[in-house]
A and B are shown apart, each in its own frame.
Chain A
Amino acid sequence: MRRVCPIAVALACFPLALPSPGAAPDRWVPARWQGGPLEADLRARQPSAKADPEISEAVRNWYELSTLDLLRDTPINCLLVTWSAAGASTLESEQQRIVAAYAKEAHVRGIAVLGIVHPGSDLVRLIESARAAGLDGLVLEGDFPDARRLAAAAPFPLITLGSRGGEDSPVAATMDGLTPRARALSEDDAATATPTSEPWIDSNTWLVRSLRAADRRPVWLAHTLEKPSDEDYLRAIADAAVAGGRWVISPDPALIAGLWRKRPEALALWRRVASFLRFFEEHADWRAFEPAGPLGIVYDRAGPNAEVSAEILNLVARRRIPYRVIPRRFFDSDSVRNLSAILATDLAPPTGQEREFLRQFAEQGGLVVAGPSWSSTPPTGADHVVSAAGKGRVVVYAGDPPDLEAVSRNMLSLLGRNNIGIRLFNAPSVLCGVSSADSGRQLLVQLTNYASTPSEALTVRVTGDYRAARLFAPEAAPADMIPEKLEGAVQVRIRRIPVYAALLLER
């Protein structure tokens, strides 16, 4: 006889959820909106907490209804609020009473409210209390072993903030993000260490790209920013949006305090944040553009080197090589159409069918980059060997996993700088996202500047015969550009990119 899961029984007793306000999860534009007495208490108990009465007061009173006015004229329509922290029951009850009232008013304004919960509490009880309070879902910040089983029966979405993006959530959400910015490499603040090196750029675009490729769920990056400048907020929005994701807006304590006290500089920053968010929502159609580029990277999230493999996506992006992520389970001859190279070090070892795809790809003129399991006699004495295969080449690396820095560096020379479809000039702090639509008739080049100063006088060169170009940027009117024609390519000179710009080229 089949056993009946007691949790499922408990969940089956939940009445139907109240109709959610506003949009479905794929249209949610989220913000961390943590506050209330429970949040103030949590922050005060953190070992690194500094007693700042202004911030404490702002956090404690954050759920006064007036803070909802901050959302007017912004696209933010989903708030992640403090709902539970294990082991503080009296305070938690007070918190939930305040949040329930706040959520009610938020719903009137068409805003969804999700409760953030932490491990240590009974998830069934949390789901029940959140439903009763009219919340639209829960955000599980940490490890909840029951989450996967409960997700199917829960009356609303359970969004897991995990490194894999919570496979049963309606949203692929993760905390695994960095504050996107260029870092100086030396003590004396020189931006470079050698005559040819470039500043190190922390970006999360590759992470969004990998999560989006796995399935088509919306992607949220839910990390907070480290000592953010105004531009860091804007860059975090753009950095995620370039690959079609959303950074969960996370005001830092100083901004919370400034907004609470309606300080002009805080409100000015908030307006800029809203303007960036609005820009990407106005161009939501760009999310449907397909990644363009000569390279496909086969990515095996379940493989033995999953963490290491993810890094190659980061390093190749830093080389400004446009690529398409091919999840291993989708890897077939269709998935490599129009590519000129496949990076397949993650196939360790490749199955017979995968090996056959790769062999055919190389023989038809493609470049295959593989790990040592490709060959029965892996290279010795060199980190990689290049051999001819039909009309193409196969590169086999000796290391398992290979030296990823070397792989990404060599990839640029193997492909040839002029064969990757795009080149940026005078843009050491800029990374690009390249995607296309309408069978390649439209090419979108999104440019994010990771430096604290604007990128100026840069040139974008793309392969192909594009007749028109239009430059888009938040906080600026679109501008028509005249592409300069070169042999087999066009180039556009852009005067200045403070944080982000997008160039839409049309054939």
Chain B
Amino acid sequence: MDTYFDRMTRRQWLAGSSAALGALTLGRAAPVVAPVSIARCPSYEQDVAAILAAQFDQIGGLGGLVRGKTVTIKLNLTGGGRFPGCTPGQTHWVHPAVVGACCHLLGKGGARRIRLVEGTYEGEPLEDKMLDGGWDVQAIRGAAPGVEFEQTNTLGSGKRYSRLKVPKPYVFPAFDLNHSYEDTDVFMSIAKLKQHEECGVTLTIKNMFGVTPTSIYGDDAGRDEPNENPRRGRESVLHYGRRQPPKSAPAEIDASSDRYEGLRVPRICVDLVAARPIDLAIIDGIETCVGGEGPWVRGSKHVRPGVLIAGRNPVCTDAVATAVMGFDPRASRGQGPFRIPYKSHTQSADDPKIADNPMLLAEAVGLGSADLKQIEVAGLSIKDALFDFEAHRTGRAG
């Protein structure tokens, strides 16, 4: 069954978002709401494709959305390092079984091309990064016809950067991104169900942070032009705003605004979702880590929530996922997951970090609803799927 979302293009989506935003500004219409599916999936040995297929049916089906289309999937393959005895896919990257299953289902749904995208630290091909995580790249490539890979920290196979505008910006009025984020009919964000040291939670909205090319938004970006051989992260330009991107790219709308990363990073992520709307949001919570976004966050550890979450709207999907993690998705700045008391390599125990809630920021600009009362949850209920991250982080969960 095709739904309203099945038939939306990016342009329509943007128009819709803008309309919703306008309506919100005028105090008339409610933000966009879309159903979210939760499914039990105890391990990656399960038939992940069958479970996801059922979830896609619950949120309106894939066929109308992807048939004959180019689908781009932003993966969540963050930094390196490992928890002892675990692959990155078990803890802080999305797992190849989930990605392979998605590709298979998209192929089955008639997608013409499936492009997997993510940045890599040293500019190596994305396939190499996957190999480094133990992925069977051949198997992913063979999961559906037309599977491609693109490393998006640079121009990649594009000839120029695509400028995507932010309808109602918090920090940046537009972004210069790898062409893959524009040259697509359908855009998916597949994220891991996990916390984040600066952003509170890492879900499909936070996953968008990595779409920014480090050639432009990295610490070693050029002053005037992109640096096509970047080797650094996004601290100076994005996290702390100590400098602006190269002159070739749009600068911040207000370079004198608060530079605190707990406020900036969620806003930038929301700007990115507005610039590059997400048509399908999937969250891998089969296995993950609690206490931070990766093994470099002190005190973080491997856990097995055993859930998959999927939805058409990233704000609704992230809100449900946040609730599954045992947090209030409407918690405000410095509350719930957005007060980060755990000790990390960048903070002292007495100085908790605070972050803004990206779901509320997104809701305020009409990108979707973070109100659980408005969101239809299919499959497993939030209560039955609940996996209390804080209890597992502190050991109270036993």
Query: Taking beta carbons and an 8 Å cutoff, which residues of A are in contact with B?
Result: 184, 186, 188-199, 417, 423, 425-426, 428, 453, 456-459, 484, 493
Contacts and interface: CB of A to CB of B under 8 A. Distances in A.
A484 B298 contact: no
Interface in B273-329: 294-296, 298-301
Given A193-B345, A417-B124, A186 B84 contact: no
A196 B80 contact: yes
A194 B298 contact: no
Q: Is the interface of B mostly helix, strand, loop or mixed?
A: loop
Contacts of B132: 425-426
A482 to B, nearest CB: 11
Contacts of A458: 134
Contact of B128 (A184, A188, A425): A425
7 contacts: A188-B301, A195-B78, A195-B81, A198-B81, A417-B124, A423-B128, A457-B135
A195 B79 contact: yes
A192 B122 contact: no
Contacts of A456: 87, 134
A188 B84 contact: no
Contact of A192 (B78, B133, B295): B295
Nearest to A196: B80
- Chain B, interface residues (CB within 8 Å), range: 20 to 34
B134 A197 contact: no
B30 interface: no
A428 to B, nearest CB: 6
A426 B128 CA distance: 10
Contacts of B131: 425-426, 459
A417 B134 contact: no
B295 A484 contact: no
Nearest to A458: B134
Nearest to A199: B82
B298 A197 contact: no
A453 B122 contact: no
B57 interface: no
A425 B87 CA distance: 12
Query: By CB atoms of chain B within 10 A, which of A191, A425, A484, A493 has the most?
Result: A425
B136 A192 contact: no
B83 interface: yes
Given A186-B298, A417-B122, A425-B128, A192 B81 contact: yes
B170 interface: no
Most buried by A among B78, B84, B124: B84
A189 B134 contact: no
A228 B359 CA distance: 51
A198 B84 contact: no
Contacts of B128: 423, 425
Nearest to A427: B132
A191 B295 contact: yes
A198 B121 CA distance: 15
Contacts of B301: 188
